[in-house]
Copies of this chain bind each other. A is one copy, B any other.
C-alpha cells in the first residue's frame, strides 16, 4: 500500500508520498517502510528515535518527529490505527509452497498443515491439529489432538502442547467509537514458544498485535490458562490452571502463578516471584517474594490481614 493511499484513507489528503508501506509497528520497533502511531502520550519520547517512515499522531505532536518521517495527523490516532490495521491483516493462506515435514515426523490423518509451514523431525502431529501458514515447528514436538496454531508462529524443540490448546489466536484489541462500537485492531504479530515448554489442555495464547507474544524456554503452563497478546513469560515459569495474564504483561524467569491467579496488563513481575492461588496483580512487582490476595500484598501481610479479619468477626 502506498503512503499516499494510506494518507488518503485517513483523510490526510495533502500527503502525496508514494513510498510503499509494508506494515505497521510500534514506534520503537518500526523499520523503514513501516508506519507507526502515537496514541498514548507515555510513548511520546520514542517519537524522536523512530525509524518508521510515517507516524499517525495528533497534530500537536507532529513537530516531535525526526526529519523525513511523515506525520499523518489524526484526532483519534488509535481509531485510525484500527481502521488501517485491516489493510495489513495477513490472509489465512498466503503461500503455494507445500508444507515441509521433517524426517521421522508422524502426521495423523485429519491434521491440517497449511502451505508454507515447516515441521521439524520426529514430531507427532495428532488428529484434528491445525498448523497455520508460515508457522515453524522444531524437532521432537508433540501436538495432541485438536491443537490449533495460527499462522506465523514459532514453536521450539521438545515442546508438548496438550489437546485443544490454541496458540496465536487474535489478541483482544479494539478502538471504540463515540457511539460505543468496537473497531477491531487486527493482530498481525505472532507467538514464539521456546524449547522445552509444555502447555496443558484448552489453554489459549494470543498472538501479538505487533511483534511477538513469547513463552520462554522451559516454562510449564497448565490447563485453561489465558495469556494475552504481547505477554512475555520468562524462562522456567510455572502457570497453574485457570490463571490469566492480561495483555503486555512480562514475567521474569521462574515466576510461579498459582491456580486462578491473574495479572492486569502492561506490568512486569520480578524474576523468582511466587503469586499464591487466586492472587490478582494490578501493579508491577519489583522485588521477588511471595504475594497473595486481591488487592495484592506480601503473603505474610495477607496472613496477618486474615487473622485480623477473623478477630473482627469474633468481636
Q: Measuring CB to CB, which residues of chain A are less than 8 angstroms from any residue of chain B?
A: 92, 108-110, 112, 124, 126-128, 130, 142, 144-146, 148, 150, 160, 162-166, 169-170, 172, 174, 180-182, 184, 198, 200-204, 206, 218, 220, 222-224, 226, 228, 236, 238, 240-242, 244, 246, 253-254, 259-260, 262, 264, 272, 277-278, 280, 294-295, 301, 304-306, 308-309, 312-313
Contact = CB atoms under 8 A, between A and B. Distances in A.
A64 to B, nearest CB: 32
A246 B259 contact: yes
Contact of A169 (B92, B162, B246, B272): B162
Given A259-B246, A278-B294, A222 B124 contact: no
A169 B163 contact: yes
18 contacts: A127-B128, A144-B169, A145-B148, A148-B164, A162-B169, A174-B238, A180-B236, A181-B218, A181-B236, A182-B236, A184-B198, A200-B204, A202-B202, A202-B204, A206-B223, A223-B226, A240-B246, A305-B313
A172 to B, nearest CB: 5
| Number of copies of this chain that the complex holds | 3
B127 A253 contact: no
B262 A244 contact: no
Contacts of A174: 220, 238
Given A112-B109, A162-B170, A236-B181, A241 B228 contact: yes
Contacts of A203: 202
A219 to B, nearest CB: 8
A286 B163 CA distance: 36
Contacts of A172: 200, 220, 222-223, 240-241
Given A236-B182, A308-B313, A146 B169 contact: no
A174 B237 CA distance: 12
A308 B305 CA distance: 12
